[in-house]
Structure 1
Amino acid sequence: MQEVFFGDNEFIVSKTDLGGRITYGNALFTKISGYEEEELINAPHKILRHPDMPALIFKLLWETIQNGEEIFAYVVNRTKQGDYYWVFAHVTPSYNNNGNIIGYHSVRRKPTEHALNIIKPLYTELLRDEKIGGVHASQKRLESLLKQKGLAYEEFILSI
């Protein structure tokens, strides 16, 4: 497995429907993921899920965006070839003219090395806790860390 990189000034963009099925991906999304556009459209976004990604982060992400709020998160994704790439994701709900959520929009940029030096060991701990006690155990660890720092999740993520 090799890490795949993209530029500091490049952005990966995708859109999904309410169920997380991909409805749009920009050229960088297809290039970095290793999939052809036809393979991505209508595929579940979790096709990119890397096994080193804590389920808790996706739980937080889905709960937040389904409540109509934006979220920022660090995510490691897996390419079609089995390689991986890190992103700093900003995910927001998309609305129709009646104010109903009709899907989700994600813009992802390259994370800083400083942020990854904090996130990688944290995700390792969260994964270990998930393997032992499930998502609830990793949630307890994250809540403890946030309480110790006196920060909400989003404040913590944006501070690194």
Structure 2
Amino acid sequence: MDRGREVKLSESDIIVSKTDPKGRITYANRRFMQIAGYAEPELLGKPHNLIRHKDMPRGVFRLLWYTLQQKQEFFGYVKNLTSDGGFYWVFANITPDLRADSSLAGYFSVRRRPNYAAVKQVSEWYKKMLEIESKESASRAPEASYLWLKEKIVQQGCSYNDLLTRLEALEE
């Protein structure tokens, strides 16, 4: 693969991973390894943010963690990094993995091909969020861009999950 080249998922691609409560990878399916370009030993025990692309605003991850801390599942569009510097977009579903006693065992993530019309829209939002983050201190940046996204959702007149449903319905 060429550095910076996009890997597009097919309709049948399903990427699966599990992490411990600290976000370290405990399981990665073969398709995840193929798309991301890592062998299993290179992933297991590593923080999941190993594949975090610089084009992803930290505010999106702030929303993700706020959602997961409430023991709710998170849905979202994520641009990930491949081992050779390429990238791939996914529509992610991340769920807390709870034990029988409701304690946190870790997180379970399933990713699939995104709607590229939605990716085009969220890419614009992410650019604005990155701009906001660049004007803030490192400690304030995630919250500042998260608050901008939260306001953007309010302006749409719906919940975050309803907004995602609308984006998924866009024609590609």
Q: Same fold (TM over 0.5)?
A: yes
Q: Indicate the residue corresponding to 1:13 in structure 2.
A: 16
Cα offset, 1:24, TM superposition: 0.3
Q: Indicate the residue corresponding to 1:72 in structure 2.
A: 75
For structure 2, the 5+ residue unaligned runs are: 168-172
1:145 aligns with 2:155: no
Q: 2:62 aligns with which of 54, 59, 63?
A: 59
Q: Output the CA distance in 2 between the equivalents of 1:136 and 1:40.
A: 29
Percent of aligned positions with the same letter in both sequences?
Answer: 41
CA deviation profile, 1:16-74 (whole Å, cap 9, x unmatched): 00000000010000001111001100000000010000101111111211221001010
Q: Compute the TM-score of the two structures, normalised by the length of structure 1.
A: 0.95
Instruction: Note if contact 2:63-2:146 (Cα within 8 Å) is conserved in structure 1.
Output: no
Q: Output the CA distance in 2 between the equivalents of 1:50 and 1:68.
A: 25
Q: Output the CA distance in 2 between the equivalents of 1:105 and 1:27.
A: 15
Task: Give the root-mean-square deviation of aligned CA atoms.
Answer: 1.1
**Structure 1 counterpart SS, 2:135:** helix
Q: Output the CA distance in 2 between the equivalents of 1:106 and 1:140.
A: 25
Instruction: Give the ranges of 4+ consecutive aligned residues of structure 1 lying more than 4 Å apart after TM superposition.
Output: none
Letter of the structure 1 residue corresponding to residue 107 of structure 2: Y
Q: 1:38 aligns with which of 38, 41, 47?
A: 41
Q: Compute the TM-score of the two structures, normalised by the length of structure 2.
A: 0.89
Q: How many residues align?
A: 160
